[in-house]
Amino acid sequence: MERFVIQGNTRVHGEIAISGSKNAALPILAAVLLCDGATVVDNLPQLQDVATSLELLGSLGVELGMAGTRRLEANPRQVHSLTAPYELVRKMRASILVLGPMLTRFGEANVSFPGGCAIGSRPVDIHLQGLRALGASIEIEDGFIRATVDGRLHGTTICMPMVSVGATENLMMAAALAKGTTRLENAACEPEISDLANCLNAWGARVTGAGTQTIVIEGVERMPGGYFRVMPDRIETGTYLAAAAATRGSIRVTDADPSTLEQVLQTLRATGAYVALGADWISLDMQGRRPLAVDLVTAPYPGFPTDMQAQLTVVNAVADGVGRVTETIFENRFMQIQELRRMGADIVIDANTATVKGVNRLKGTRVLASDLRASASLIIAALAADGETCIDDIHYVDRGYECIEAKLHQLGVQIIRMTSE
Ligand code: EPZ
């Protein structure tokens, strides 16, 4: 098991470049399966989840080549398997995103049923309901989702019962090669949805309305493929900004897209941070002051993103005042709080609201990571704490934060990765 050892009392200071978005890259890699020609995906982040996606595409028979560390050339002309195996889906739930593309292109798809994870049960019922509405026959057997369609899927109107990023992505991709037009009502509006739609259109699809609650997909006969560059990662951006806020530091992030995290920037300004921004950069400066506590409620975009909840909970943990954090998206996304309490945080949970009374300093100790964003929040807590912190089970971090030690070193952080039996 690997662990991080981090020195506390660190005021984050410096400049880093933001990598490509994990949550845009994963559906875009699945969309490769829609094309019958070569595709190039640029600005791919070097993450464990991207590596798992490439392993999955390779297992299906997609020809893959890396032209540089972040530029993938993929050609799905030799796809020979239509089964996403358990061992890969178990590693990454987002493997479910190959279901729609495989089904609509090849008329069949078998995907191991994705389990839950630390933050919740993560069902896929909305994905399956939508695919059935498009004409798919779906059976669940031997732990697999087995989807088939005679001929092509057929366009229809689908009103999703709740906002789901993954279901919106899966159904948008399934509809891309369906016969006729599909309307997705109550669609997710996240920037990653728009990035996927832009990619599908660049590769030959006809998608309009992405970024709004109604997306219209006009099915096409084929998608020849082409080039696409993945958007910057808005959650990585927010995570480093939150680290500067919690440690009373200052930071400039480049290769970013400020337009994708307006609610996060508004919340950080409420902590007392001075935030300036340009077309592709953001600077945040606390001027050495302790952050002010803030209240936040997570919500689908453009609301406050659930993926930034754990990071702002840590800012509140060392803030002046009491902040209330309400998680409305996932049923178990306060996993980091028991570890923060072990560092001296004063947090009371009542149902889906955490009341956080800021303390002047946390205290470094040994803590355990539980999921991706909880791990990031423990790193932020370690920086703001007195003394040394050891974070166990840090494989979660590598799923979503590219070159995190190198970027933290650029920000003046003393962090080392240690391997223990
Ligand atoms: C995506 O997950 C992201 N992952 C998550 O980021 C993010 O937290 C989430 O969207 C919400 O923004 C990727 O994009 C790879 P949902 P997804 O479907 O698509 C329920 C990270 O840290 N639901 O929008 O799985 C579900 O249980 C990860 O980078 C159903 O009930 O999220 C949840 O309560 C974590 N049935 C809510 O909807 C379904 O069929 C939102 O889930 C689908 C979802």
Gap from CA of 134 to ligand 1 centroid (Å): 21
Query: Does the C-beta of 329 come closer than 6 Å to ligand 1?
Result: yes
pTM: 0.97
**272-282 pLDDT, tens digit each:** 999 999 999 99
| pLDDT given at position 111 | 96
| Ligand 1 near 162 CB (within 6 A) | yes
What is residue 115's predicted lDDT score, i.e. its pLDDT? 74
Beta-sheet strand order (sheet of 388-392): 366-368, 388-392, 2-7, 415-419
pLDDT digits (tens, 9 = 90+) for 37-87: 999 999 999 999 999 999 999 999 999 999 988 999 999 998 999 999 999
Q: Does residue 122 register a pLDDT over 90?
A: no
Please give the average per-residue pLDDT across 303-326, as a whole number.
98
Question: What is the distance between the alpha carbons of residues 311 and 336, in angstroms, rounded to a whole number?
Answer: 10
* Residues 367, 391 contacting (CB under 8 angstroms): yes
Q: Length of the chain in residues, anyone?
A: 421
pLDDT band per the 50, 70, 90 thresholds, residue 114: confident
**What one-character-per-residue DSSP string does 255-294 give?**
S--GGG-HHHHHHHHHTT-EEEE-SSEEEEE-TTPPPBP-
Supply angle C-alpha 104, 177, 169, rounded to 5.
75
Ligand 1 close to Cβ of residue 97 (< 6 A): no
- Whether 77 contacts 109, CB under 8 Å: no
Give Dmax over CA atoms of the chain in angstroms: 64
In this predicted structure, what is the pLDDT of residue 421?
Answer: 65
Render 50-65 in DSSP notation, one character per residue. HHHHHHHHHHHT-EEE
- In this predicted structure, the answer to whether residue 420 has a pLDDT above a threshold of 80 is no
C-alpha to C-alpha distance for 187 and 119, rounded to whole angstroms: 22
Give the tens place of pLDDT for each residue, 70-84. 999 999 998 999 999
User: Measured in Å, how far apart are the chain's first and last C-alpha atoms?
Assistant: 6
Q: Residue 268 pLDDT > 90, yes or no? A: yes
Measure 363 CA to ligand 1 centroid, in angstroms.
33
What would the two tokens of residue 263 be? 């609610």
pLDDT digits (tens, 9 = 90+) for 214-262: 999 999 999 999 999 999 999 999 999 999 999 999 999 999 999 999 9
Q: What pLDDT is stored for residue 68 in this prediction?
A: 86
Amino acid letter, residue 209: G
Mean pLDDT of the chain: 96
pLDDT value for 37: 96
Encode pLDDT of 361-387 as tens digits: 999 999 999 999 999 999 999 999 999
Q: Are 361 and 386 in contact (CB under 8 A)?
A: yes
With 80 as the cut, is the pLDDT of residue 11 above it? yes
Active site residue 117: yes
Nearest ligand 1 atom, CA 190: 12
Q: String of b and e for 397-406 (b: at least 16 CB within 10 Å)? A: bbbbbbbbee
Mean pLDDT of 112-119: 81
- State residue 7's pLDDT score: 98
Q: What is the pLDDT of residue 69?
A: 86
Q: Which atom of ligand 1 is nearest to the CA of 329?
A: 34
239 lines ligand 1 (CB under 6 A): no
Omega cis (within 30) before 114:
no
Whether the per-residue pLDDT at 121 is higher than 80: the answer is no
pLDDT > 90 in the chain, percent: 94
Name, in order, each residue with C-beta under 8 angstroms of 249's C-beta and a sequence gap of 6 or more: 11, 12, 13, 243, 286, 411
Q: How confident is the model at residue 341 (pLDDT cuts 50, 70, 90)?
A: very high
- 282 strand-pairing partners: 253, 277
Give residue 117's pLDDT: 77
Rounded distance between C-alpha atoms, residue 382 and residue 390, angstroms = 8
Does residue 372 have its Cβ closer than 6 Å to ligand 1?
Answer: yes
